[in-house]
């Protein structure tokens, strides 16, 4: 049963891929089996993260990036990540509709992932769905997220190349972003670049980037201007991403990143198995009893941990 599914994934059958994704989303035992079985076939896809504020035109841009890769005869999978929030509520999912453009193209697979409660889970299952596409042989996987929440950072940091999408009016946002998005961008995209301020923003960004050391081993983020709805600048953007890819491969950075992802996955699995076992009824009862006390009467966290270990 599972082996049929794995074969289906490897022959890039849409129905098998869709089933595997559903299983991963439901997080049952089978999901681990599938992920384990496909592991040897992963690690080949090129993963690009696309992030930026709502209204920056990420969806049109993604649409055109798909086309550009398709023109190179590369297959593309797209994962839209939408941590549900009272403020963004579903905007991203709505945008996805525009991508129906590609629904007849067997070389493109588009999938949205929405959060249902556990947000740690969303970033993890997004990475796992990426592995399914990877094993299915998609050449490029695009991860599209909104903004800079923790889930988005988790998703984005597990990609090879990150596009941060801005608009000419974003000048002020740069300040805001300094501590957040600046660090993660490999390519800055100034979209809607026919609007006023595009050049000024490009200069601001280049000035900010000039503080980075001049070292061939350190990637200097590129700044690319696009007008997505006119398909302007898209090939340059895709080329910039490929330069970045070459850079991380030739410097060994890509290799190290894949290693780190492997180690991280191992450590996550080890910890989650341990926590599941540790927090059995007995230990949970000890914790519950302590919490029920007035705070001042509780054991300190350090004392309680000692007690929990003695019970073991």
Query: Least separation, in Å, of the C-beta of 38 and a copy of itself?
Result: 8
Query: Least separation, in Å, of the C-beta of 302 and a copy of itself?
Result: 4
Q: Which is nearer to a copy of itself, 93 or 208 (CB)?
A: 208
Q: Which is nearer to a copy of itself, 102 or 254 (CB)?
A: 254
Q: Which is nearer to a copy of itself, 172 or 281 (CB)?
A: 172
Query: Least separation, in Å, of the C-beta of 262 and a copy of itself?
Result: 7
- Cβ of 30: how many Cβ atoms within 10 Å? 15
Q: Which is nearer to a copy of itself, 72 or 284 (CB)?
A: 284
Over the Cα atoms of the chain, what is R_g?
22
Q: Which is nearer to a copy of itself, 37 or 105 (CB)?
A: 37
Query: Least separation, in Å, of the C-beta of 65 and a copy of itself?
Result: 21
Query: Least separation, in Å, of the C-beta of 167 and a copy of itself?
Result: 8
Query: Least separation, in Å, of the C-beta of 239 and a copy of itself?
Result: 26
Candidates 168, 173, 113; CA nearest to 147 is 173
Question: 82 near 92, Cβ under 8 Å?
Answer: yes
- Interacting residue ranges for a copy of itself, rule: CB under 8 A: 32, 35-37, 39-40, 43, 53-55, 83, 85-89, 146-150, 152-153, 169-170, 172-173, 175-180, 182-183, 208, 211-212, 258-259, 262-263, 265-267, 269-271, 273-275, 278, 287, 291, 295-296, 298, 300-305, 308-309
Q: Which long-range contacts (CB under 8 A, 24 or more apart) does 65-71 make?
A: 65/142, 65/234, 65/237, 65/238, 66/99, 66/102, 66/108, 66/142, 67/231, 67/234, 68/234, 68/235, 68/237, 68/238, 69/139, 69/140, 69/238, 70/105, 70/107, 70/108
Q: Supply 172's token pair.
A: 């002020």
CA-CA-CA-CA torsion sign (64, 65, 70, 71): positive
Query: What are phi and psi for residue 142, nearest 5 degrees?
Result: -100, 125
Q: Which is nearer to a copy of itself, 203 or 305 (CB)?
A: 305
Query: Least separation, in Å, of the C-beta of 204 and a copy of itself?
Result: 12
Query: Least separation, in Å, of the C-beta of 105 and a copy of itself?
Result: 29
Q: Supply 26's token pair.
A: 């439901």
DSSP symbols for 23-89: HHHHT-HHHHHHHHHHGGG-S-SEEEEEE--TTS-HHHHHHHHHHHHHHTT--EEEEEEE---TTTT
Query: Least separation, in Å, of the C-beta of 290 and a copy of itself?
Result: 8
Q: Which is nearer to a copy of itself, 69 or 143 (CB)?
A: 143
Q: Supply 135's token pair.
A: 């094993």
Q: Which long-range contacts (CB under 8 A, 24 or more apart) does 291-300 make?
A: none
Q: Which is nearer to a copy of itself, 199 or 278 (CB)?
A: 278
């Amino acid at each position: 049963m599972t082996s049929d599914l794995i074969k289906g994934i490897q022959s890039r059958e849409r129905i098998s891929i869709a089933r595997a994704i559903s299983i991963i989303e439901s997080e049952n035992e089978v999901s681990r089996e599938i992920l384990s079985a496909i592991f040897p076939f992963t690690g080949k896809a090129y993963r690009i993260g696309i992030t930026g504020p709502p209204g920056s035109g990420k969806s049109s841009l993604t649409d055109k990036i798909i086309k550009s890769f398709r023109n190179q005869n590369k297959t593309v999978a797209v994962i839209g990540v939408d941590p549900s929030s009272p403020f963004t509520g579903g905007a991203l999912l709505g945008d996805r509709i525009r991508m129906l453009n590609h629904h007849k193209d067997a070389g493109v697979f588009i999938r949205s992932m929405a959060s249902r409660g556990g947000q740690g889970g969303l970033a993890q299952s997004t990475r796992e769905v990426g592995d399914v596409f990877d094993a299915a042989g998609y050449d490029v996987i695009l991860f599209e997220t909104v903004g800079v929440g923790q889930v988005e950072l988790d998703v984005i940091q597990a990609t090879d190349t990150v596009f941060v999408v801005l608009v000419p009016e974003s000048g002020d946002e740069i300040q805001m972003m300094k501590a957040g998005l600046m660090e993660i961008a490999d390519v800055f995209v100034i979209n809607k670049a026919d609007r006023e301020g595009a050049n000024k923003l490009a200069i601001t960004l280049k000035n900010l980037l000039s503080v980075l050391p001049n070292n061939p081993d350190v990637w200097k983020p590129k700044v690319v201007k696009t007008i997505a709805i006119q398909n302007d600048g898209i090939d340059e953007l895709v080329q910039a991403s490929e330069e970045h890819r070459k850079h991380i491969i030739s410097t060994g950075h890509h290799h190290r990143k894949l290693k780190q992802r492997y180690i991280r996955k191992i450590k996550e699995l080890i910890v989650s198995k341990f926590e599941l076992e540790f927090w059995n009824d007995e230990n949970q009862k000890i914790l519950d009893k302590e919490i029920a006390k007035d705070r001042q009467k509780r054991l300190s966290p350090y004392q309680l941990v000692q007690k929990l270990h003695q019970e073991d």
